[in-house]
Amino acid sequence: MAKTESTGSTWRYRWAHRQNVRRVDTYRGAEAAWRRRDDELRRLRALAADFHGSAAAGAGLPLELAADEVVLWALPAAQLVEIRHTTVLPAPDLTVAAQTGPLRPRRPDGVRVTDAGMAVITSRRLVLLGGRGRRDWAYGRMTGLAHDPAAPVTLIQVLDRRPTSGLLLPTKAAPDFRFKLTLAFADAIEQRAAVLAQLDELIAEHAKLKPFRSAAATPGQARLSSFVPGGRRTLAVAAAIALLVPAALIESNPSDPTGGPEVAVAAIPAPSPSVAPALVRPAIPAPVRGTAAPKPTKSPRPAASTTANPRCGAPENPLGYDFCGGTRIRRPATEVCDWFDCVPQFWAGRGYLVQCRDGSVSLTGGRSNACAEHRGVRRTVSK
């Protein structure tokens, strides 16, 4: 009969209790993270539906507005930045990028601050009212727009200005600024409905990822390996060591008077030239007592394809992109076309990254016309 404690519980019950506590903690952490993301997506959806400005919002600002121009949002603390080197930014798009991590309050290398003041988003332009003057970025003249994924910096290129400039914002205000700038640009090109549809799709996809509570562990599921620290892994390592040690001792057997099979073969005298080579057979040394006869070795099998190509068929790239079915990529890196064969007009896509059946990649995943001119979608590019 199993020895029990005063409460009547055995080691199996204690094991089940520990397992259930761990499973509950894991579920609660995953559910809290999922809930935060769901609340953020729904907040953005409500903001996108109700984001409107008014002429009264610009009252008191030293800014002349056009007849049909309204102020949508203003931020009193912003810095004007410029980059020292020449670069080409991706074209402005309506992609609502998911925040992958917290922004760090730092200024990237190669970016210098030239002024500071108030950032104003209107229905026609982005304006910085700085101490040295005013800087405008009209939506109709924007040729490039990029948000730094690690720092609260937004860079903009326009037709009538050579150096690339932008804004450095407070860390907490940067995500809202980026989203509202996207909404203002969407209104300028009459594509607010596309942003709303994208948010609805993100909410629906996120709902499928809701974590579920694991079934409760029962005492009957406990195994004897639970007694050993490390469980089955420790037992497997111990078994491997138990098999390797005798094999090592056999190979280095000091009782062999011949010095081992290698020495015995070397001691065989060379055949006389008068003896026909066909009649000469090399002597095979007898196995040492207590050891097994050597078996012919087999050539090793080639490694599995997943080990040889961990990207599941994707070309080698420093971006971490693969075909293994991970997280969908809605905002690919600017150098993606250096490593993948991009379709024409790649950056005009409005979706996530997919590979077409002709081998090229497109940014139209999730759309009804995805890879329409390239024989349809083959698989999703992930990271």
Q: Looking at the structure, do residues 41 and 86 belong to the same domain, yes or no?
A: no
Q: Looking at the structure, do residues 203 and 313 belong to the same domain, yes or no?
A: no
Q: Is residue 281 part of a domain?
A: no
Helix (H, G, I), strand (E, B) or coil at 300: coil
Q: How confident is the model at residue 38 (pLDDT cuts 50, 70, 90)?
A: very high
What is the enclosing helix (H) or strand (E) of 156?
strand 153-158
Q: Looking at the structure, do residues 74 and 141 belong to the same domain, yes or no?
A: yes
Q: Looking at the structure, do residues 174 and 131 belong to the same domain, yes or no?
A: yes
**pLDDT number for residue 55:** 66
Q: Is residue 265 part of a domain?
A: no
CA angle 95, 200, 54 (to 5 degrees): 70
Q: Looking at the structure, do residues 222 and 125 belong to the same domain, yes or no?
A: no
251 vs 366: which has the higher pLDDT: 366
Q: Is residue 283 part of a domain?
A: no
Q: Looking at the structure, do residues 172 and 195 belong to the same domain, yes or no?
A: no
Q: How confident is the model at residue 222 (pLDDT cuts 50, 70, 90)?
A: confident
Three-state SS for 159-208 is CCCCCCEEEECCCCCHHHHHHHHHHHHHHHCCCHHHHHHHHHHHHHHHHC
**pLDDT number for residue 313:** 82
- Closest among 96, 95, 98, 128 to 113, alpha carbons compared: 128
Q: Looking at the structure, do residues 69 and 176 belong to the same domain, yes or no?
A: yes
Q: Looking at the structure, do residues 218 and 110 belong to the same domain, yes or no?
A: no
- Mean local confidence (pLDDT), 124-142: 93
CA angle 325, 146, 377 (to 5 degrees): 30
Q: Looking at the structure, do residues 139 and 215 belong to the same domain, yes or no?
A: no
Per the structure, how many domains does the chain have?
3
134 vs 261: which has the higher pLDDT: 134
Q: Residue 324 belongs to what domain range?
A: 305-380
Place of tokens 């995953």: 30
Instruction: Tell me if 178 sits within 8 A of 146, measured CB to CB.
Output: no
Q: Looking at the structure, do residues 97 and 178 belong to the same domain, yes or no?
A: yes
Q: Is residue 290 part of a domain?
A: no
192-207 and 11-50 are packed helices; what angle lies between their axes, rounded to 10 degrees?
A: 170
Instruction: Tell me if 320 sits within 8 A of 335, measured CB to CB.
Output: no
Tokens linked to 107: 């200024």
Q: Is residue 221 part of a domain?
A: yes
Q: Looking at the structure, do residues 98 and 65 belong to the same domain, yes or no?
A: yes
Q: Is residue 259 part of a domain?
A: no
**pLDDT number for residue 12:** 85
Q: Looking at the structure, do residues 114 and 179 belong to the same domain, yes or no?
A: yes
Instruction: List 342's β-bridge partners, or say none.
Output: 361
Share of the chain above pLDDT 70, in %: 74
- Mean local confidence (pLDDT), 2-19: 68
Q: How confident is the model at residue 278 (pLDDT cuts 50, 70, 90)?
A: very low
Q: Which long-range contacts (CB under 8 A, 24 or more apart) does 11-15 make?
A: 11/222, 11/226, 11/227, 12/219, 12/220, 12/222, 13/219, 15/217, 15/219, 15/222, 15/226
93: domain CATH number? 2.30.29.30
